[in-house]
Amino acid sequence: MRGSAPPAQPGRAAPSADTYSRGVPQVSADVHVPLPPSVARALAASVGEPALRLPPHVTPEPLSWRFDAEGDGTLVVLTLAYAVDPGWVRSITHEVTQWSLARQLRTHLATLTDAGGDPVRVERARSSAGEG
């Protein structure tokens, strides 16, 4: 279909026809983990928040974690909305800022995927989520 975004691929920046939310830029990345949403959420909490390297013109909003049931597991979506100041910098830096932040979010989600492969961490997450 013309004008529609391609489907998201695990571990890649989630495609979006609109990279702005409430007038501020945003970037997302997603990954599928073979765990129920509550366990995926507990595992993500054990991994912690990403340590983002932000350029000086970027002021982040709180991260939007989302855990959607999908097939045999969970689609974990990590979204970062951010402000750019001064505003005139946005048009010059938008592409590279989006690329850099999406790469950092994908790297953090890879850490979550790695943790999902560790049976001890998954069992702790199950216990924490009340499923074990």
Q: For each of the chain's 132 residues, which pLDDT tens digit applies?
A: 334 333 334 454 444 444 665 678 999 999 999 999 999 999 999 999 999 999 999 999 999 999 999 999 999 999 999 999 998 998 899 999 999 999 999 999 999 999 999 999 999 999 999 986
Residue 6 lies in a domain: no
Contact predicate 125/35, CB 8 Å = yes
Domain limits at 100? 22-128
* In the block, residue with structure tokens 């990954």: 31
DSSP 35-58: S-HHHHHHHHHHH--------TTE
Residue 9 lies in a domain: no
The total number of structural domains in the chain stands at 1
Residue 82 lies in a domain: yes
Reported pTM? 0.81
